[in-house]
Amino acid sequence: MTHAALLRMARKTELDSEYARSAARGAIPSLLGDASEQVLTALLENPHLDETHLCLLLEREDLPQTILERIARRRQWLSHYPVKRRVAFHPHTPRLVAMRLARELFLMDLVQLSLFPSVPAELRRLAEELILGRLPQLPLGQKLTLARRGSARVAGGLVAEGHPQVVRIALDNPLLTEAQVLKVLSQEKLSATVVAAIASHRKWSYPYNVRVALVRHPQTPLQRVLAFLPDLTLRDLSELCEASTLTENLRQYLRHEITRRAERRSARNTAKGSHLG
């Protein structure tokens, strides 16, 4: 591109910026899609620009970070919740700005933020922490909604909290993971209701590691523990025998299972030797 062409382009951008800075309210929508960062910067200085215009502007996923920073610095604009929400969710919003605004979002927007795959992991984790921090103050209806729609970590937090109706729904949450169930079972002071719900759940009572954790937990009903023992390896049974959380009664059951398997193995070896002989 020639020097003259560059000068013409620069002059046009300058004129467009001057127009954007003082354009009438009705002309602003046509400027929201401008590709020039300089023009958009000038548009933000237009006194006729309002929150409706900003919401439309923030729908653009290609907005430069500098524009988002300028919007985030204006508390007057952020006092309008739809603007604040869009800035927090925008993929180009600076990390620290997004994390600051996340603390001011409504509960269900935090849930949405925690589930967006395009949101940085650090921001998703903060959203989960904010949700978990609000759990004690939430009414039952909101907890039930979170149990159905929350992330794995949020569902796990609701299970650990122990409300029977919420626990049942949270355990059925398709996002709940084995890692979160194991995290719940690692809490020794967990309510017996929660442990019993996991131990009898049609999905979570079957994973091997969950069964080991249930056998180890002091609140697991004995009937369920005895049903799990035949599926555990000898190595895990031996390690569980040393667990400090086990009652002496349960420890005897484990030792009996170990002895039973040892005798059965010995009988098989004897029968095999007799057959070979």
pLDDT, tens digit, 9 for 90 and up, residues 154-196: 999 999 999 999 999 999 999 999 999 999 999 988 999 999 9
**Domain assignment present for 93:** no
- Mean pLDDT, residues 107-132: 94
Q: pLDDT at position 139, please?
A: 97
Instruction: Give the pLDDT of residue 6.
Output: 46
- Inter-residue long-range contacts of 265-271, CB under 8 Å, 24+ positions, other chains counted: none
Domain assignment present for residue 213? The answer is: yes
Residue 259, CA distances (Å) to 13, 31, 237, 253, 255 in order: 86, 81, 11, 10, 6
Binned at pLDDT 50, 70 and 90, residue 275 comes out as low
d(CA 51, CA 263): 78
For the record, the structure tokens of 157 come out as 């937090």
102, pLDDT greater than 60: yes
277, pLDDT greater than 90: no
Residue 164 counted as domain residue = no
With a cut of 70, say whether residue 86 has pLDDT above it.
yes
- Per the CB < 8 A criterion, the answer to whether 220 and 199 are in contact is yes
Range 56-76 average pLDDT: 95
- Whether the predicted pLDDT of 8 surpasses 60: no
Does residue 242 fall inside a structural domain?
yes
Tokens of 121: 């992991």
Q: Percent of the chain, pLDDT > 90?
A: 78
Q: Report how far residue 271's alpha carbon sits from residue 195's, in angstroms, rounded to the nearest whole number.
A: 42
Structural domains in the chain (count): 1
- Assess if residue 178 is contained within a domain: no
For residue 237, give its domain range.
Answer: 205-272
Q: Is 243 inside a domain boundary?
A: yes
Residue with tokens 């030792």: 255
Is residue 224 assigned to a domain? yes
Q: Which two tokens stand for residue 22?
A: 């003082």
pLDDT digits (tens, 9 = 90+) for 244-256: 878 888 999 999 9
Q: What is the mean pLDDT of residues 63-91?
A: 96
pLDDT above 70 as % of the chain? 92
Give the global pTM.
0.85
Domain assignment of residue 80, yes or no: no
At residue 7, does pLDDT exceed 90?
no
